Chain A
Amino acid sequence: MFSRGYKAAVTLPPLLWVTAFLLTPYLLMFCYSFWSVSPAQIIVHSWNLSNYGELARVDVYWQTLLRSMWIAARVTIFSLLLGYPLAYFLSFYGGKKKDLLYQLVIIPLWVSYLVRAYAWKTILGSDGVLNTLLQYVHVTKHPLEFLLYSPFAVVLTLTHIYTPFAFLPIYAALEHIPHNLVEASHDLGASPGQTFWKIIFPLSIPGVVAGATFAFVLSLGDFLAPLLLGGPSGIMISNIVVSLFGAAYNWPLGAAISFCMLLLVVSLLFLSERLEKKWSYA
């Protein structure tokens, strides 16, 4: 029903725009990763693999990447542990207040990321809210120093930020489970535990995979929470990239790390898509 002219008119502008401002920049990042910086701080367009060689050779890049993945993995697990039972509670026992409770989970998403990370800093600091509270009620005599400027603070803050992201797809998956399946399971004499593990949980796996992908990928690339709350032991891979694009001035090496992150993220997305397809019942 739509003419060729119509199709061209809706296709070409976004296609050109996305090519210019998304595809070209990502490809340019790939090109940059083969270039190098001369001693005079000029970017040399010489094509070689020396940046990737350096990444493979120097331990600090690997260690930081692994640490970032470990932080992201912990954030993912905690977000799921917080988000899944909450989604289950809302979906099955939310009753009349379901919509309101759902909105209450969403609202923190509308509060600035930066501001929430900063609020955690004021809570965890050595003269922060938590430490002064603990001293006020005489639980501790001296401020607990490990709270702030540690991987703990980064994991806590990122878990706070990504729990709603983990919650959303799980809740959507639970809401789409046909009621008659659950009722049939009850009617046929299954216990609540059996119904959950044999019916509900397997049907919610696509939501879990989506939520986990979100929490993992977004926290893996974070650089603001580590800068604000991480201290030296909480440095993540993106912080290295930021410094390579700033004071350390080595854009090509930074581009090589970014491109590796891009590949990692895209392969994780691919994998999660496969997993979701495998587990979806539709």
Chain B
Amino acid sequence: MSTILEMRSITKEFPGVKALAGVDLDVTEREIHAICGENGAGKSTLMKVLSGVYPHGTYDGDIVLEGDTMRFGSINDSEDRGIVIIHQELALVPYLSVAENIFLGNETRNRFGLIDWDSANHRAAELLARVGLHENPTTPVSQLGVGKQQLIEIAKALSKRVKLLILDEPTAALNDTDSAHLLDLLRNLRDEGITCIIISHKLNEIADIADRTTIIRDGRTIETIDMADPDSTQDRIIRGMVGRSLENRYPDRTPDIGEEVLRVEDWHVDHPTQAGRNIITGASFNVRAGEVVGIAGLMGAGRTELAMSIFGRSYGRNIRGRIYKNGQQIQVRDVAEAINHHIAYATEDRKQYGLNLLDDIRHNVSSAGLGKISPGGWINGNEELKVAEEYRASLNIKTPNVLANVGKLSGGNQQKVVLSKWLYTDPDVLIVDEPTRGIDVGAKYEIYTIINKMVAAGKAVVVISSELPELLGICDRVYTLAFGRITGEVPVAEATQERLMELMTIERDQPLPTKELNS
């Protein structure tokens, strides 16, 4: 096996910041090579250098591909040499068909200069078969789920005769089945002779699929390890990424559980546009002061829908059921009422639903609790700045100052801004939806610490997550949700991933195991 790609002491500076300080990377032909590092370690910058987003001359160091020194001036140059990058945010046009997306910018034309759709669709079908996707090439992409869209991106890369495929967090938005399928596909592609570089935060996934792993920290290569080596444990990778060993991935907490704070009874929600389609059916749950309650469920089980319908009817229609706060039944007809009842909901989709990316940290932090600093409807700007500074310090938001745009922060720091915003509303119940999605190990630990501080102060937290180890690591009790029904309630001491998974896959018409519901 020969080296296909070598990057030698790549250094990239932005004004005032050294993003890469001499990174070395060598990738062998026909291997799956993982790159690990915390957010901000320089992984994305490195891949942008490799794919020509930062053209030759704007960085120092050499890129050697198949023995030749490369001087890419643009993405087109790197694609000509068979390097294709698939970004975390997929770049598909929703209203175009699968085939149109695959050949976008690369259309085959007939002799009249028009696109030959018959041959394009035919070739698209072949590519889809290679990635194991059984869809009609004329289907609009918007009708397919994220998992299938990811496969279309790979088909698109294959149509460009890719030799070196780079995937940035390919499974971040996928459920377990889709992830497993994608990883299988990558193995097949490797066997067909395609080299893969995969950037991922999911360490068990890396352990599962990578042949070798390069760890990057603070713009430097720490080490490249062979995953076949028994010493290449997840702990070793984490140690390399954070520069210290994380004894425990979840901070310790001694539960001190008090009175019930929130109880939801017999909650029903219908789909907002499809009449008669039930999304949540008769869900009941509660959470007590000082308690972290988890809600586990597969994609599409209705986790987010349950939370958002409770949070001021932000989702669905024909919502029925009862909400009790501290034993009193309450009405929560809109978000303002929810905030007044000290209920907070931090969304799973920071960019779409959580933040105003055009605005600065300061205004985002105050956006849900503006009333507290605005006597008579006029904002006290100095007080606002002080509040934002306090949260920057206490939540360790890494930014020179709070006047920086949130759109430019890393995922972990954006998540801390979202949490700051909700902590500032002084919630008694905080519902966090996928609080650690797409953020690195170090930042995850910090988020868990924030949750622990909340419950230590006698508040209640509901965590929605698709990562079962996370729920087992931080919760006191876990509810399972499947097809819109609460199918089980398990104290964490009795819970295992297998037990939860069993409850999470109970189908709509199957009877529920009554034992758990009464515990």
> Are A and B subunits of one complex?
no
Q: B residues bordering A, Cβ < 8 Å?
A: none
